Amino acid sequence: MSTLNDGKKKVTIYSVAHEAGVSLATVSRVINDSSLVKEETRKRVEEAIVKLGYRPNAIAQGLALKKTTTIALVIPDSSFLYMGKIINGLLDVAKIYKYNIALHTTSSSINEMSEIIDNIVKSRADGVIVYNDCLTEQEVAVLNSFSTPMVYIGHKIKADEACNVFVDYKKALYELTDKYIQEGYKDIVLIEDKKNPMMMDELLQGIKKGFKKHNKEFAGLIEIPDNYHNSYDYLNEYFKDNKHQLVITVRDSQAMAVLNACTENGISIPEETDLVCVMDSRYTDMVRPRISSFFIPSYDLGALAMRVMTKMLNDDEVKEKEYQLSYIYKNKASTKV
């Protein structure tokens, strides 16, 4: 473990230059691996650096270079479980390319986004990665209007120039619906998820398309309260009088609420009702019966987003703007089909 500057005396590039008997310019060159410094001098400077425990001041570098090697990550403050894997992907790639991550979270409050943008602009992040499920079109427009490189994770963005990394949920639900209708299922419902409005929209489109293909109309959207406990209570009442052939939920907690509510009302899954959770999580495999779900490559979403960002920052002309990752449907014990 190397010597640390413990604050007793600030050590700057000047101190190092003085210690090594060279000018700042030379020290700077050594720090930045410039080839044009004599081997012997380099050695002297490097010795001075370790002797003094010098660490370049990234802030001063940022000022001089007009870049911060920091990228801002904007995510909804809820649900770190799903986000967690995305963040892990992001961070692993960021580490490779030596970028720092500044974390910004949005709650649903209206004016917050503009505050966050303000903050990001002030802090001069080199780029911004946004998980965009909760952004209004207006907010996306604002974000796009400013010149910092930007990558959106999660959903296809309408704006043409926007760069985004996403999964085609519409297609996923279309395929699922199609399959089930072909199997003769008629009574298919989708549980609404208010936390993910944009994804919800895509899912709905997919289902509707599936129904349309078979000349049917989808009318099975079920609105339920927001959090697990309320939704569980609600569903517990609901399944006293209702029963469906296939129930689709977005998040694992909703699927578990359905599972519990059904079971406790004597509706057995999968015998009487098939249950599919769109977004996979480790917990869909831990519960019994295991819940059929789509594997969403969250880690890859994060990693790719960051990779694309690094390309943008290196002016490696980013040809593609849209990176679509594929899901995998995992048929487990909560479905018969």
Residue 13 binds DNA (CB under 7 A): yes
Looking only at Cα atoms, what is the longest distance across the chain? Answer: 86
Q: Which pair of tokens denotes residue 276?
A: 């599919």
Q: Do the strands 188-191 and 163-167 form a parallel or antiparallel pair, or are they unpaired?
A: unpaired
Partners of 152 in the β-ladder: 130, 164
How far apart are CB 53 and a copy of itself at their closest, in Å?
9
Which residues, other chains included, contact 34 with Cβ-Cβ below 8 Å and sequence gap of 6+?
A: 28
d(CA 215, CA 236): 32
Q: What SS3 class is residue 129? A: strand
How far apart are CB 1 and DNA at their closest, in Å?
20
Which residues, other chains included, contact 107 with Cβ-Cβ below 8 Å and sequence gap of 6+?
A: 76, 77
Number of residues located near DNA, criterion CB under 7 A: 32
Binding DNA by CB under 7 A: which of 3, 9, 10, 308? 10
168 and 231 Cβ atoms separated by less than 8 Å: no
Interacting partner of 293 out of a copy of itself, DNA, none (Cβ under 5 to 8 A depending on kind): none
How far apart are CB 162 and DNA at their closest, in Å?
26
Which residues, other chains included, contact 314 with Cβ-Cβ below 8 Å and sequence gap of 6+?
A: none
Nearer to a copy of itself, 94 or 173 (CB): 94
How far apart are CB 65 and DNA at their closest, in Å?
5
Q: 24-53 mask for DNA (x: CB under 7 A)?
A: xxxxxx-xx---xxxxxx------------
> Where on the chain is the footprint of a copy of itself (CB under 8 A)?
1-2, 4-8, 55-60, 62-63, 68, 70, 73, 77, 79-81, 83-85, 87-88, 91, 100-105, 114, 117-119, 121-124, 138, 142, 145-148, 228-229, 253, 256-257, 260, 263, 282-283, 285-288
